[in-house]
Amino acid sequence: MEDYLETISFLKEKNNVARVRDISSSLNVKASSVTSALASLSKNKLVIHERYGYVQLTPEGERLAKIVVKKHKILIEFLTKILDISPKIATEDACKMEHFISPQTFEKLTKFMEFIEESPVNGKPEWLEGFDYYLKTGKRRKCRMEQRKEKAKKKNK
């Protein structure tokens, strides 16, 4: 059901309206499946939909849709920026993960991404660059402190 809420929100933002045929096309499902899902969402007071009419999110549906969209965005950012996953695969994986991630894990992941984004260093923090190096080479890069110690040892010899 979250996919439907997310899709309705996206279509409303893009086209100012959401129709059954547009939802069906976006999700690659039959119109009858959309109608069935909308009946369930309507019963749960998440959408307003009259037969052959536009689909509207209720305030609660809008709230839930925003959460799903935020999860999707944060997961894609984490997968692409931190784990260096291709955008195509990250998008596919985020779609799967967003429905199963616990609120606690999502909150911590969001804080982690905020921490990275607000890093005082231009670009990536040193430890994250070290992780990128590890992903590429399979070896840990020595931190600056280790590099200084080695330099001092060589200098003292």
**67-121 is classed CATH 3.40.720:** no
* Sign of the four-CA dihedral 38, 43, 44, 47: positive
Domain with CATH 1.10.60 in the chain: 67-121
SS3 string, 110-133, reads: HHHHHHHHCCCCCCCCHHHHHHHH
Q: H helices then E strands: how many in the chain?
A: 8, 2
% of the chain beyond a pLDDT of 90 = 59
How is domain 2-64 classified at the architecture level of CATH?
Orthogonal Bundle (1.10)
Domain with CATH 1.10.10.10 in the chain: 2-64
Q: What is the pLDDT of residues 46-71, one digit of tens each?
A: 999 988 789 999 999 999 999 999 99
pLDDT (tens digit, 0 to 9) for every residue of the chain, 157 residues total? 888 999 999 999 998 889 999 999 999 999 999 999 999 999 999 999 988 789 999 999 999 999 999 999 999 999 998 898 999 999 999 989 988 999 999 999 999 998 888 876 666 777 888 888 888 899 888 777 777 777 777 777 6
- Three-state DSSP at 139 gives coil
Contacts of 60 (CB under 8 A, 6+ apart): 45, 46
- How much is the pTM? 0.74
